[in-house]
Structure 1
């Protein structure tokens, strides 16, 4: 009899929690939501995150506050969200760093695959291979030939060791036989400044924050790393159509929440993100940046993150990159 009573009590408690979760989702959000961007303000990730946050604020009737917590290739911001209450009021605007970080650090205080649930992919920002105007090459083929004729004489910038801009350049250099010195910066902006100034000779960087310098002729764009050409740079070929068939790399982004966030809230966020990404104004704003809109189910995004974690893990081990 006592066991039966305990079972009834447990069942009622479970039903109460289920009802509470449903009620939370129906009323969510009831206050401002903090969207943590684990990179500096004004960078390529921040530019997209703020477009999405503004639209979600408009749709859901509560402010989505973008909070920049840069550092350690995104690990500082991710750690903050992993430690937050799983109630939907602190969410992560993640990049591919969520897949790179567990391969770069051996002593993290969190494990992305266990401490986060992917809500939805949002966008991918194609990257572009840039050179200083003094480099005597107007095509990727000419640049590769020049770099191979001058081994270890060139240097390339990245947004940080282990960043996707670094690893994509590593893949390109390895596949084409280029030997060059890697100069990591604390973000893409200072790397671009030194590229314009001629302190480094080339860089792989996202299109959305490189485009103004390409447009003004301060750097040369030789190829894009996406599978298709960018409408912002229609005359710039892809790496795949020039020297490396099948080559593709992009700075993908999405939204994740702490593990144990109620399923109903994850589903609500996914629904609202999907609506936001399909809206004409968001598409137009991201299109202006050269950013490609994505969107997915929570399950598909989880699978994609796992696949990318495995893929980039192999690249990172090959490059011999460790950040602790």
Structure 2
């Protein structure tokens, strides 16, 4: 082999080696994504353990984990009206190992708070919607009114004495109560709690008068019939699981429609392949027979599968931000 041939051979070998290195560099991210997940996924909940959103998260975690082949760990990151958890997830590494489940508070926070450390429409990737949860208007068991007509008469005559509990600033119970008071034209004394559980406990104990909260929280105590009175559901149609309870709309509050929707999110920049795997896991969980059974027991159900998409969640979130922004502005409610 002469010098020229040797030189040519070495050049070809160098080019081949370089090409191989480039292929490995290109393939490495794809291989890493293909192996995802290789450790547990943390699902962050903005509210306390035992509350409605926490209940939903824990129902989904097991079947999602089975689908992903890794444990889905539920962590409660509470505080600041449910805004600390989204901040945490927005700032997390965009690798799919930290995700967020949140209710309609994602849509109301921009109007409720003067300053947020995240933008719901810019700082997240969207995995899919989960469910629409009806709400119920309840009172303590010994409240003087026995039906909705009597409730309205009593509240209007005693508005300075009637207390309306909620689970804290930004909680859906606050929003439902706000809309109720606005629609009947009265100002009620609101009593904020640190979570839906404590609010419901004090209602059952007779410390507060009224509460509007999700069926995931209230259905069991409504069905036992011993500890609260129920005056109506907040959806346009009666619930198949509690058909004897009339809607607020049919009792005179025309157009009253409050459903608590939930969605699952990831940090902005999470790879599309990872979002797709999380979306598939969410779909699998929502079709799990045990999850369906638990949803039915709590008088709710999963959204149609066409809503369990990133696109549907983003579109719905944008519409809800606009809707609730108007309601909150009209009520003159804003937190620091």
Aligned partner (choices 306, 310, 317) of residue 318 of structure 2: 306
Match of 2:138 in 1: 130
Q: Aligned equivalents of 2:299 and 2:139: distance in 1? A: 19
CA contact (8 A) 1:34 1:64 kept: yes
CA contact (8 A) 1:25 1:268 kept: no
> Which secondary structure state, in structure 2, belongs to the residue aligned with residue 272 of structure 1?
helix
- Aligned pair in 2 of structure 1 residues 184, 281: CA closer, same or farther (>3 Å)? same
CA contact (8 A) 1:167 1:315 kept: no
> Offset at 1:162?
2.8
CA contact (8 A) 1:114 1:259 kept: yes
Aligned partner (choices 55, 58, 63) of residue 50 of structure 1: 58
Q: Give the greater-gyration-radius structure (CA).
A: 2
Match of 2:231 in 1: 222
- Aligned pair in 2 of structure 1 residues 237, 31: CA closer, same or farther (>3 Å)? same
Aligned partner (choices 288, 297, 312) of residue 309 of structure 2: 297
Extract unaligned runs of 5+ from structure 2.
1-20
> Which secondary structure state, in structure 1, belongs to the residue aligned with residue 102 of structure 2?
strand
Match of 2:265 in 1: 256
> Offset at 1:229?
2.1
**RMSD, aligned α-carbons:** 2.1
> Which secondary structure state, in structure 1, belongs to the residue aligned with residue 180 of structure 2?
helix
Indicate yes or no: 2:164 matched with 1:156: yes
Structure 1 segment 34-49 matched on structure 2, within 5 A = 34-49=42-57
- Aligned pair in 2 of structure 1 residues 176, 83: CA closer, same or farther (>3 Å)? same
- Aligned pair in 2 of structure 1 residues 247, 276: CA closer, same or farther (>3 Å)? same
Q: Aligned equivalents of 2:116 and 2:247: distance in 1? A: 36
Aligned partner (choices 7, 32, 39) of residue 31 of structure 1: 39
> Which secondary structure state, in structure 2, belongs to the residue aligned with residue 239 of structure 1?
coil
> Offset at 1:109?
2.0
Match of 2:122 in 1: 114
TM-score of the pair, normalised by structure 1: 0.90
> Offset at 1:179?
3.1
> Offset at 1:303?
0.7
TM-score of the pair, normalised by structure 2: 0.87
Q: Aligned equivalents of 1:140 and 1:112: distance in 2? A: 37
